[in-house]
Chains A and B, each alone.
Chain A
Amino acid sequence: MKFLFMIYHDETMMDALPKKEMQGLIDSALEYDEEIKKSGHYVVSNALQSSRTARTIRVRGGTVSTTDGPFVETKEQLGGFFLIEAKDIDEACAVASRFPPARIGIIEVRPVWELAHS
């Protein structure tokens, strides 16, 4: 069963981290990638650029409208995601809790919904 981890953190706080500390977090995140590849949980993951780089798109009556910025304005912003394979939500949460930035951010864990043609 597949689960999505959405990693939320305070971008202002992350931007204010000393370079060395930030690189330490990145190193620990990449080591975690390797760890969960070895354990067979990893499917795909990516960090995201700042929410300031986001565009939000809607199509209404065939017309596309684009606005700058993320869809949801929250204090903590989506900073990255993991798609993982786990037996159930408990295993998924246990995997999520080992992600080093979980110590400063928040991870939402949600099961994917396998779509099938009608």
Chain B
Amino acid sequence: MKYVCLVYLVENDMSAMTKKEADACTDESLAYDDALRRAGHLVVAHALQPVESATTVRVRNGKLFATDGPFAETKEQLGGFLLIEARDLNEAIQVAAKIPMASRGSIEVRPIRELRLSGEYA
């Protein structure tokens, strides 16, 4: 079963880090990705550029509306995500709790939903 782990962080705290601290965070995160990959848990993981780089897109009556910035303005922002494979929610939570950023931010864990075409239902 696949779960997504959404990593929320206070961007300002992250950008206030010294280079050494930021490098250590990056190294820890990449090392954990590697450990998850070896254990067969990792599907894909990425950090995201800051929310200022976001564009929010809507289509209404066939017209595209694009606005700068993220959809939700929050104190903590989505800073990255991991798509993992886990036996059940408990295992997913155990994996999420060891994400290095879990000690600085918050991790939302959510099961994915398998979509099927209408023709695929027996």
Residues of A within 8 A of B (CB): 2, 4, 6, 8, 23-24, 26-27, 29-30, 43-44, 46-49, 51, 53-60, 64, 66, 70-72, 74, 76, 78, 80-81, 83, 89, 92-93, 96-97, 102-103, 105-118
B27 at the interface (CB under 8 A from A): yes
In the complex formed, the residue of A with least CB distance to B60 is: A103
Tell which of A46, A74, A108, A114 touches B113, judged by Cβ atoms closer than 8 Å. A46
| B46 close to A112 (CB less than 8 A) | yes
Q: Which residues of B contact A47 (CB under 8 A)?
A: 112-115
Q: How far is the CB of B41 from chain A (nearest CB, A)?
A: 15
Q: By the criterion CB–CB under 8 Å, are B44 and A111 in contact?
A: no
Distance of A113 Cα from B66 Cα, bound (Å):
21
Return the chain B residue nearest A71 by Cβ: B108
A116 proximity list for chain B (CB < 8 A): 26
